[in-house]
Amino acid sequence: MAINAGSSSLKFQLIEMPQETVVAKGLVERIGLDNSIFAIEYGDDQKFELVEEIATHDRAVELLFEHLTELGIVKDYHEITGAGHRVVAGGELFKESALINDEVIQQVADLGEFAPLHNPAEAAVMRAFKERLPEITMAAVFDTSFHTTMPAVNYLYSLPYEYYEKFKARKYGAHGTSHHYVARRAAEMMGKDVKDLKIITCHLGNGASITAVDGGISVDTSMGFTPLAGLTMGTRTGDIDASLVAFVMQKLGISDVAEMVNILNKKSGLLGISGVSSDMRDILSAAAEGNERAQLAHDIFVNRIQKYIGQYIAVMNGVDAIVFTAGIGENSIQIREEVIKGITVFGCDIDTERNNTRKEAIISPEGAKVTVLNVPTNEEMEIAREVERLKQA
């Protein structure tokens, strides 16, 4: 089972390995709030939904296990032989996925300072799983591990150096599992060794980040100390001048920094600019109907991606491939075309016919200097594979 827990949510996929068949998937939302929802899809398009109070992550796990048997998805939840937990913040400690024991759970909880909404919830879900299935292989798969190879020149902020020494204040990045997977897959599709390539991976979902992958390792990435930095996202600002935080707080009479951080995380980005929606499909259709602010949100989104690609070509002093992935990257033929058509100066181009796809494909013209690819990501499957790998290690 691949598990992705957030502060008030828990997403899960039950996957049959090594066949990689998804047996069931679903989510629990609004944990700790009123009208919590548990929803699961399984079998041949069968669905089940329940609205009731789900006060804690432990209760969410209990409910999940109950329903796996009640709905006949498994005879007994002990049929589950492995669990992989996605963890947002691994700090400098976790350079790769780790087998879960009490010490690792505590370390994940302690790293909560870096991801207060995520790590404590993830630790709670690990505990809930371990109590019910103490005998199985459980792995923690970190969003940050892939980026632990970044050099100091790219991960350090230009702050007093002791903030790094004392507080570990630095760039950690995110979406590592996805960037790692699509970079490897792109190299395979090109028939090349990833070690010989300079790749820029663009993970464009609700959260969005871009990574410079040089010789198979992450050398720079757009998300920062937390996933707030970098590109314009669904509801997150991406990069802004830090002085604006103080300025806006003063203008709005906000004294609680957490309230301001919430605005930067939840009310900004595509939603904040457009006033329409955080969802790119809504933005595209509103823009097509002539909504100017939706058009502007779209333009800013594309512009930031282009700027980061330019930056990372400079960081690596070259580029062999540009990869698109995640909700927007995989599905928006239009956005891929717009991004690439605006930066042909770098030797990249798009083949309109090849780009007319939502599947894995090379979408640049034959013989182009830079290969552009669409590579659907699958973080849950990667997490399941990590569990299998660690089981055999």
Q: Which residues bind ligand ADP (CB under 6 A)?
A: 205-207, 234, 279-281, 284, 326-328, 331-332
- What is the crossing angle of helices 280-288 and 292-316, to 10°? 120
70 assigned binding-site residue? no
Is 207 assigned a ligand-binding role in the annotation?
yes
For 232-290, give the DSSP string: --SS---S--THHHHHHHHHHT---HHHHHHHHHHS-HHHHHHSS-SSHHHHHHHHHTT
Q: Which is nearer to ligand ADP, 284 or 350 (by Cβ)? A: 284
- 264 labeled part of a ligand binding site: no
The distance from CA 78 to its chain's CA centroid, rounded to whole angstroms, is: 29
Apex 142 CA angle, 97 and 96, nearest 5: 30
Residue 112 assigned ligand-binding role: no
Q: Which is nearer to ligand ADP, 104 or 273 (CB)?
A: 273
The structure tokens listed for 246 are: 């103080």
Closest approach, Cβ 236 to ligand ADP, in A, equals 11
- HSE-CB at 109 with a 13 A cutoff on CA atoms is 12
Q: Which is nearer to ligand ADP, 12 or 65 (CB)?
A: 12
- Looking at residue 41, what DSSP letter applies? E
Residue 281 counted as an annotated binding residue? yes
Three-class secondary structure of residue 335 per DSSP? helix
> Binding site annotation covers 291?
no
Whose Cβ is closer to ligand ADP: residue 211's or residue 332's? 332
End-to-end CA distance of the chain: 19
Amino acid identity, position 77: Y
Question: Are 246 and 209 within 8 A, CB to CB?
Answer: no
| Closer of 147 and 175 to ligand ADP (Cβ) | 175
Q: Is 347 annotated as belonging to a binding site?
A: no
Closest residue to bound ligand ADP by CB: 327
Choosing from 34, 44, 110, 143, the catalytic residue is 143
Distances (CA, A) of 24 to 42, 46, 78, 182, 377: 4, 9, 16, 24, 18
Both tokens assigned to 13: 């996929």
Looking up tokens 């717009």 gives 338
Instruction: Mark whether 143 is an active-site residue.
Output: yes
- Return the number of the residue (117 or 246) whose C-beta is nearest ligand ADP: 117
What's the closest the beta carbon of residue 363 comes to ligand ADP, in angstroms?
15
Closest approach of Cβ 160 to ligand ADP, in Å? 34
Tell me the H-state helices in the chain. 57-70, 102-110, 119-132, 152-155, 161-167, 176-190, 243-252, 257-266, 269-274, 280-288, 292-316, 326-331, 333-341, 352-355, 379-392
Question: Which of 31, 280 has the CB closer to ligand ADP?
Answer: 280
Minimum gap (Å) between residue 271 Cβ and ligand ADP: 10
CA atoms of 217 and 32, how far apart (whole Å): 39
Residues in the chain: 393
Q: Is 102 annotated as a binding residue?
A: no
CA proximity to 393, closest of 180, 137, 90, 17: 137
Report residue 68 as tokens.
Answer: 């796996």
- Quote the least distance from Cβ 204 to ligand ADP, whole Å: 7
Min dist CB 333 to ligand ADP, Å, is: 8
192 pairs with which residues across the strands?
none
253 is an annotated ligand-binding site residue: no
* Nearest distance in Å: CB 62, ligand ADP: 25
Please give the Cα distance from 310 to 378 (Å, whole number). Answer: 26
List, as residue ranges, the binding site for substrate: 86
Binding site per annotation, positions for Mg(2+)? 4, 379
Annotated binding site for ATP: 11, 203-207, 279-281, 327-331
Known binding positions: 4, 11, 86, 203-207, 279-281, 327-331, 379
Q: Which residues are catalytic?
A: 143
